[in-house]
A = this chain, B = another copy of it.
Amino acid sequence: MAQSTDGGKAPDSARRSERSRRAIYDAALTMVGEVGYARTTIEGIAARAGVGKQTIYRWWPSKGAVLLEAFLDLGERAAREAGAEEAAYEIPDTGDLEADLKTVLRATVDELNNPAYDLPYRALAAEGIIDPALGGEFTRRLLEPQLRLYVERLRAARSAGAGGAGALRDGLDLRVALELLVGPLAHRWLLRTLPLTHDYADAVVEYALYGMTARS
């Protein structure tokens, strides 16, 4: 807002900056998907984005920093496409835990089947698997905030006293429980065992949730 007070020039400048930023994110994600994390360079990103590499260095200190923000932005765009009101990954709470988890795991399946997400995320995952520092940082900053949302949704269901298929069991470790939801999808995606489908997402939710809920 501060820019709009100084006479018309700054808003144009802000728009140009926003265009450049978007072009840089797109170029970074395309490049990492095409040539992998290790061979992605600031020079390559700048050339694809049609900006000078000093523009990139002015905003980010390193390749890793550009890519981290590009991936964060990609996650926000995916959330918006999935219909989230906030530009952030979120899990709905309609009061029906099973339905809500199916909604979010189906959206995850769609994202992983979309080359615009699949290719850069694969490149990032592959590099993180062999580089502990990179893998640790991206997990902490990209993945863990998403996983915490599952813990929060499960905790809300426990407080409400009922999931779609019964109340969550007492003493359940929610951090472990959420991994029974997301682990199987990651396994199929990363290890290429069988297709990722909505039916699969539904079955994972049903089986995992059945294991989390109390017996009548």
Flag if A144 contacts B211 (CB, 8 Å). Answer: no
When chains A and B are docked, how far (Å) is the Cα of A183 from the Cα of B201?
A: 13
Q: Size range of the interface on A?
A: 35 or more
Which residues of A (163-216) have their CB < 8 Å from a CB of B? Answer: 169, 172-173, 175-177, 179-180, 182-188, 190-194, 200, 203-204, 207-212, 215-216
Main secondary structure of the interface of A (DSSP, over half): helix
Flag if B130 contacts A36 (CB, 8 Å). Answer: yes
When chains A and B are docked, how far (Å) is the Cα of A159 from the Cα of B136?
A: 43
How far, in Å, is A113 (CB) from chain B's closest CB?
A: 14
Q: Which residues of B are found within 8 Å of A193, using beta-carbon distances?
A: 139, 143-144, 147, 179
**In the complex, which residue of chain B has the Cβ closest to the Cβ of A190?**
B129
Binds B, one of A5-13, A99-107, A119-127: A119-127
**In the complex, which residue of chain B has the Cβ closest to the Cβ of A177?**
B207
Q: Is A64 an interface residue (CB 8 A)?
A: no
Q: Is A75 an interface residue (CB 8 A)?
A: no
Q: Is A92 an interface residue (CB 8 A)?
A: no
When chains A and B are docked, how far (Å) is the Cα of A211 from the Cα of B30?
A: 40
Known A123-B130, A176-B184; 4 more pairs at CB < 8 Å: A122-B130, A129-B190, A180-B204, A215-B216
Residues of chain A having any CB pair with chain B under 8 Å: 36, 122-123, 125-130, 132, 135-136, 139, 143-144, 147, 169, 172-173, 175-177, 179-180, 182-188, 190-194, 200, 203-204, 207-212, 215-216
8 residue pairs bridging A and B, Cβ less than 8 Å apart: A123-B130, A144-B193, A176-B184, A176-B200, A180-B180, A183-B186, A187-B187, A215-B216
